[in-house]
Amino acid sequence: MIITSFALVGLVFVPIGLASLSASEQVVEIVDRYDIDCIPEQFQNERLAYIQNSETNKTCTRNLIVPRKMNSPVYVYYQLDNFYQNHRRYVKSRSDKQLRSKAYEQVTDNCKPEDKANGLAIVPCGLIAWSLFNDTYKFSLDSKVLEVNKKNIAWKSDQDHKFGSDVYPKNFQSGALIGGAKLNASIPLSEQEDLIVWMRTAALPTFRKLYGKIEVDLELNDKITVVIQNNYNTYGFGGKKKLVLSTTTWIGGKNDFLGVAYLTVGGMCLFLAICFVLLYVFKPRTLGDPSYLSWNRNAAGHPS
């Protein structure tokens, strides 16, 4: 029974593993780390000063080669490393009530230290909103602009129920310390999709967030030029910034883990099944023989 179930699990797991692995292989992914390269030569030793200085030119141009044909939609992500969006103080520093409805504008209890500026409540308050990612990317292919669709990148449910359409940014980034992006005060929060995406905190210190979608196919060896506004300060805490272009399949983005794990587990199960069969063949054992019972063994005169 056990042997067959091990064999069965093995036999089922190997194909699933192969399928997952091939799905993951089909995903075309371009990852480009730009946080260091986008700092001009003369500022390499004082990156922090460079990024904090509002006078410096933060524009940076990157060239990406498409390794395989990428079918639309091509998702554009930014990836941050070593960014603890799951830190307890950070996670709690938000006011869901305030985000949802204008009526709760003053509810900023959890938002300290970004709860009030100049005595007035900040909307949206809290560290999460305050640290909104503010790098921007402009793509062009053969000097033709590649449109990045930034609509529908946030969860529909968040737009409908978590972020109010009557809540407008107020007092945002008006304090002494400016964390990240500024928001257009004339657009309601439910339409601020970058913010909504950012406010879905990541559980791990390395995470990707959706920036937009390129809705044309990219051909093999296409040379894509990206103009980056390198504004976001990850230099203070040694974080990395990466730009990611990726397609998806049924399994999601590029992730070999499930496929490899399934193949390993399937293989192990088959191996165990074979071991047990061999054990059974070479060391057969009558099950349930009462003479094996310890008290009967002693009785028969064999010292145990």
Partner 1 sequence: MVSLDLVKSLYAKFIDWDEEMYDHDTNTPSHAANTAISEDLGQVEYILTDKTGTLTENRMIFRRCCISGIFYGNESGDALKVDVELLNAVAKNVPDVLRFLTIMTICNTVTPIRSNSGAILYKAQSQDEDALVNAAARLHMVLISKNGNTLEVNFNGLVIQYEILDILEFTSDRKRMSVVVRDCQTEKILLLSKGADEVIFPCAYSGQQIRTFVDAVEQYAQLGLRTLCLGWRELKDDEYEEWSHMFKEASTALFDREWKLAEVCQRLEHDLEILGVTAIEDRLQDGVPETIETLRKAGINFWMLTGDKQNTAIQIALLCNFISSEPKGQLLFINGKTEDEVVRSLERVLLTMRITSSEPKDLAFVVDGWALEVILKQYREAFTELAILSRTAICCRVTPSQKAQLVELLKSCDYRTLAIGDGGNDVRMIQQADIGVGISGREGLQAARAADYSIGKFRFLKRLILVHGRYSYNRTAFLSQYSFYKSLVICFIQILFSLFSGVSGSSLFNSVSLMAYNVFYTSIPVLTSVLDKDLTEKTVMQHPQILFYCQAGRLLNPSTFAGWFGRSLYHALVVFFISVHAYAGEKCEMEELSMVALSGCIWLQAFVVTLEMNSFTILQHLAIWGNFVAFYVINCIVSTIPSAGMYTIMFRLGKQPSYWITMVLIVAVGMGPVLAIKYFRYTYRSSAINILQQAERSRGIIFSMGTLESQLKSVEKDVASLSITQPKNRNPVYEPLLSDSPTATRRSIGSSTFDFFQPAQSRLSTSYSRNCKNN
In sequence order, which residues have a C-beta less than 8 Å from that of residue 17 and are 6 or more positions away?
258, 259, 260, 261, 262, 263, 264, 265, 266
- β-pairing, 116-117 vs 223-229, is unpaired
Cα angle 65-66-69, degrees, rounded to a multiple of 5: 165
d(CA 171, CA 115): 10
Both tokens of residue 185?
Answer: 């005060």
> Which of 71, 72, 86, 174 touches partner 1 (CB under 8 A)?
86
Q: Counting contacts by CB under 8 A, is residue 103 touching partner 1?
A: no
Q: Counting contacts by CB under 8 A, is residue 211 touching partner 1?
A: no
Tell me the per-residue interface mask from 140 to 179 with partner 1, x by CB under 8 A, - otherwise. ---------------x-x--xxx-----------------
Query: Interacting stretch for partner 1, rule CB under 8 A, among 55-63, 113-121, 129-137, 200-208?
Result: 200-208
Q: Which of 17, 28, 65, 20 is nearest to 248 (CA)?
A: 28
d(CA 158, CA 100): 9
Q: Counting contacts by CB under 8 A, is residue 282 touching partner 1?
A: no
Backbone angles phi, psi at 90, to 5 degrees: -70, -45
Q: Counting contacts by CB under 8 A, is residue 13 touching partner 1?
A: yes
Query: Interacting stretch for partner 1, rule CB under 8 A, among 59-67, 105-113, 175-183, 196-204?
Result: 196-204
2 conformational bin, left if phi > 0, alpha if psi -120 to 50, beta if neither: alpha
Q: Counting contacts by CB under 8 A, is residue 290 touching partner 1?
A: yes
Q: Counting contacts by CB under 8 A, is residue 250 touching partner 1?
A: yes
> Which of helix, strand or coil describes residue 117?
strand
Contacting partner 1 within 63-82 (CB under 8 A): 75, 77, 79
Q: Which of 235, 285, 275, 190 is nearest to 82 (CA)?
A: 235
> Which of 15, 61, 252, 278 touches partner 1 (CB under 8 A)?
252
The amino acid occupying position 22 is S
Tell me the site size for partner 1, rule CB under 8 A.
Answer: 67
Q: Counting contacts by CB under 8 A, is residue 33 touching partner 1?
A: no
Which residue, 43 or 276, has its beta carbon nearer to partner 1?
A: 276
Residue 224 burial by CB count (10 A; 0-12/13-18/19+): exposed, middle or buried? buried
Q: Counting contacts by CB under 8 A, is residue 283 touching partner 1?
A: yes
Q: Counting contacts by CB under 8 A, is residue 268 touching partner 1?
A: yes
> Shortest approach of partner 1 to residue 43 CB, angstroms?
28
> Shortest approach of partner 1 to residue 222 CB, angstroms?
22
Binding site for partner 1 (CB under 8 A): 2, 5-6, 9, 13, 16, 20, 75, 77, 79, 84, 86-89, 91, 155, 157, 160-162, 200-210, 246, 250-253, 255, 257-258, 261-262, 265, 268-269, 272, 276, 279, 283, 285-296, 298-301, 303-304
